[in-house]
Amino acid sequence: MSKKLIIAGYNNFNLGDDLMFASIINQTKYDEYFMYGPPIKPYFVEKNIKFIKNGKLEAVRWKFNSDFALVGGSLFMGDNEINLNRFDWKTKLFKRNKLFGGRNFVVGANLGPFNDKEVYLKKLSEVARFVDLWLVRDDFSAKLLSELGVENFKVIPDVVMSLDMSTYKTKKLSKMVSISVTKVEKDGNRLVKQSDFEGEVCTLCNKFIKNGYMVNLLSFEDSNDISVAKVIKNRVNSQDIEIVSYKGDNILEKIAESEFLISTRFHCMIIGALLNKKQIIYEYSEKTSNFAKKYGFEVQKITGDVSGKDFWDTAFEYNEKEIAKMAIKSMEQFDGN
């Protein structure tokens, strides 16, 4: 195996992505780790990492004979021209790493959504030429790769499922409900309205507060989520509602201490299931619904009406967590077969 790993992804203080980076870096045994992009060390990463700054002369800073992993869920959206054009820089990075004698991996992706399947598959095929191993999170993604004739893929659990959550499982429950909020239209989903989402959350907040609960509005990524949390808090106008910005493991602690969880963010659903929480899971993107259905979790559409939307017991089997660990190690052990 290579002794160096270069990781690229959405490194912008996003809890879900930070947990994905940490899952891979903390549980592999490369001698050196590099992150491509801004010089920000993600929370939860326990090892020393170096950075390859993007921009001018980035090719000079690239490393020979390295494994390169593109990590994240929404890596290959094709619902608009901007997202389709983003395939090009990914192809460029994969091609460069090949020229430098390295191997390429895609880790944790949910393929899609897209408007024109033919155009999308053409762009995806250009990327696939340079990828040694795809580790995707759902059967829909696997089906798309199969349609392209790609054979070097595995369907895996989310890599965050490999993390040890025992510290958080010992937290004492409080009379709290935690709600992950975000801009539900941000991934190009035209089937949901932000106003409907905020209306539903406000209704749920008022119901819980009336029954004596403290409500936490969780921000997994402050640049996207805080503004939504402020709108909801102002509408509810209660001293029993708190905005929780992302500052390390504070979000995990709030979820662990809550009796109920309302998940909009994908990794809120994952964390909740790892902690065996009762959840309402909102279907604001296909990556959430495709993954949730695989594990038998009920998902709820955002309609503006909370009627009939009940909490659902969520948990993962032990073997799924072990498969997630093995999937991470499969990068190091990959021999091309």
- The answer to whether the beta carbons of residues 287 and 265 sit under 8 Å apart is no
Q: How many domains does the chain have?
A: 2
Do 137 and 193 lie in a common domain? Answer: no
Spatial distance between the Cα atoms of 285 and 93, rounded to a whole number of angstroms: 27
Closest to 199 in 3D by CA, of 290, 312, 309, 314: 309
pTM, full prediction: 0.95
Helical pair 117-128 and 81-99, crossing angle rounded to 10 deg = 20
Residue burial 161-179, b: 16+ Cβ < 10 Å; e: rest: bbbebeebeeeeeeebbbb
Do 10 and 147 lie in a common domain? Answer: yes
Do 181 and 127 lie in a common domain? Answer: no
Task: Supply angle C-alpha 23, 82, 87, rounded to 5.
Answer: 50
| Cα 244 to chain centroid, rounded | 19
pLDDT at 63: 97
- The answer to whether the beta carbons of residues 70 and 105 sit under 8 Å apart is yes
Do 234 and 138 lie in a common domain? Answer: no
Do 147 and 12 lie in a common domain? Answer: yes
Q: What is the CATH number of the domain that holds 240?
A: 3.40.50.2000
pLDDT at 192: 87
Do 28 and 114 lie in a common domain? Answer: yes
Spatial distance between the Cα atoms of 271 and 16, rounded to a whole number of angstroms: 9
Do 77 and 145 lie in a common domain? Answer: yes
Do 136 and 190 lie in a common domain? Answer: no
Do 311 and 185 lie in a common domain? Answer: yes
Instruction: Sheet containing 67-71: give its strands across.
Output: 50-52, 32-36, 4-9, 67-71, 103-109, 133-136, 153-155
pLDDT at 271: 98
Closest to 217 in 3D by CA, of 257, 253, 179: 179
Do 143 and 197 lie in a common domain? Answer: no
Q: What is the CATH number of the domain that holds 51?
A: 3.40.50
- pLDDT tens track, the chain, 337 positions: 679 999 999 999 999 999 999 999 999 999 999 999 999 999 999 999 999 999 989 999 999 999 999 999 989 999 889 999 999 999 999 999 999 999 999 999 999 999 999 999 999 999 999 999 999 999 999 999 999 999 999 999 999 999 999 999 999 999 999 999 999 987 666 678 999 999 999 999 999 999 999 999 999 999 999 999 999 999 999 999 999 999 999 999 999 999 999 999 999 999 999 999 999 999 988 888 889 988 999 999 999 999 999 999 999 998 999 999 999 988 888 876 5
Give the domain extent around 79.
4-157+320-333
Do 145 and 174 lie in a common domain? Answer: no
Do 280 and 145 lie in a common domain? Answer: no
Spatial distance between the Cα atoms of 140 and 147, rounded to a whole number of angstroms: 11
Spatial distance between the Cα atoms of 321 and 160, rounded to a whole number of angstroms: 9
